[in-house]
Amino acid sequence: MDKKRAYQFCKYLKSQMDAIDKDKWYKGEEIHNDPGQEYIIDWINRNAKEWREKWEKSKCQHCSFWFECGHKLKVECERFKFDDEENKQGGEDEKDTD
């Protein structure tokens, strides 16, 4: 995997983990208890496909502010600023030797 794709994938995973954590916190407040690891697995089973589709359509994947609000998956965003770091991570593709 080249560096640019690895960087994009890390952004995707971090944003998804933030969304899971936020939803888990809300659920915990609702039930007045930690919903535990089962909630995370259930979230993935219920939401992972839709999350990926929304991520692919959102501007968050190319935004400098993705770390702060990438879990919101906005298609349009007043704060959008192209992520210059994303372009620095590119360059020549590195071939996997596995």
> What distance in Å separates the CA atoms of residue 71 and residue 15, rounded to the nearest whole number?
5
What's the pLDDT at 95?
46
By the 10 Å C-beta count (0-12 exposed, 13-18 middle, 19+ buried), 60 is classed as: buried
32-66 residue pLDDT tens: 999 999 999 999 999 999 989 988 888 878 887 77
21-40 residue pLDDT tens: 999 999 999 999 999 999 99
By the 10 Å C-beta count (0-12 exposed, 13-18 middle, 19+ buried), 58 is classed as: buried
Task: Name the amino acid, one letter, at 29.
Answer: E
